[in-house]
Structure formats: C-alpha cells, structure tokens
Amino acid sequence: MSERERKIKSGHSKGRMLTTKQERFVQELIKGKSQREAYRIAYPASVKWKNENVDSKASNLFKNAKVRTRYEELKKKTEEKITYDAAEVKNIIIETMLSIVKADVMNDNVDGKAVKNKHWDRNGKVVYDHYDKVEASKMLIGLLGIENLQEDSGVHIHLHSSEEYDG
C-alpha cells in the first residue's frame, strides 16, 4: 500500500494528511506515551539517538499544525468516549441501586442485583442475604445529585413494588 493510500484509508481529509509515521506518533501520544517515547516508536531509527536530539525532534513534530490538529481531534474523541462510558457506568450503578432499594426482601422472587449472597440453612431452605437498602439509598441520592433536597423542592421520586405493576 502506498503512502497516499494509507493517508486516504486513515480517513484524513486532503488538507490534513499525515504520514504514517506522524500518525503513529499521534496515536502513541493518545495512548499516554511521552513525546520522546512516541517519537522513538514512530521513528525507529531514533532509538540510537541521544535523548536531547529525540526530544527536540519530537517537540518540533508536535508543533506541526497538521500533527497538532490530528492530536486534538483524537484527544476530543477519546474524551467523548470516556464521558460516554462514565455515563453508561453511572446508569448501570443507578439501576443496581434502584433494584436494591425496591427489592421485596420477603419475596423469594427478588431481583438478583439485590442479593448479596445466597446460601442454605440447616433445613435446606434457601436464604438470601441482601445488600443494605439504606446504604444503597444513600449512594443513589449521591449519584442522582439530590443530596440537599428540601421537602418543598418539587422533586418527587416514586418507587413501586413489583406487586403494584402486576395489579
């Protein structure tokens, strides 16, 4: 594959094309490598150079407008992905905490998320140990950002038991 084909395949617009080595340098920076490390990976011949020479070349490369633009573009995509993943994790935690808070512990048909441990007593009956509802409620309040709710705040949270949905 020619250098031009690699540039086109990498998705860069014509005015912002990087060489394969420049793209590799940027990719390594995004992975968390230092400029020196990224440069040595992208430009293997530099492994034999003095650190000062590598640092100077890496610094100059990073100042290149096309390289810097690509770096900012990938950094933004990475930050968006991290934000999305964090929001997704928060939603999973909220769902789990809601399951714990809403669990009907007197019913054997409990959502598995609310069960901390399952064991059998001496008579062979299944015994469920549940997560602490109060702790789950506190965590949920923190995750929802409603720590300082006043009674007259207008915010209402309704929790329903499974029996309410069946009826």
Query: pLDDT digits over 64-73, tens only?
Result: 999 999 999 9
Question: Would residue 14 count as lying in a domain?
Answer: yes
pLDDT of 136: 72
Domain span at 133 = 86-166
Question: Would residue 70 count as lying in a domain?
Answer: no
Distance (Å, rounded) from C-alpha 14 to C-alpha 24?
18
Question: Would residue 75 count as lying in a domain?
Answer: no
pLDDT of 165: 43
- On the question of pLDDT at 153 being above 80, the answer is no
Same domain, 59 and 90: no
- In b/e form, how buried is each residue of 48-64, taking b as 16+ CB within 10 angstroms? eeeeeebeebbeebbee
Query: pLDDT digits over 83-142, tens only?
Result: 666 677 777 777 777 776 666 655 556 566 666 777 788 888 877 776 766 677 777 777
Residue 58 pLDDT level (bands cut at 50, 70, 90): very high
Q: Count up the domains in the chain and report the number.
A: 2
Question: Would residue 80 count as lying in a domain?
Answer: no
pLDDT of 38: 95
Which one, of 108, 95, 100, lies nearest residue 130 by Cα?
Answer: 100
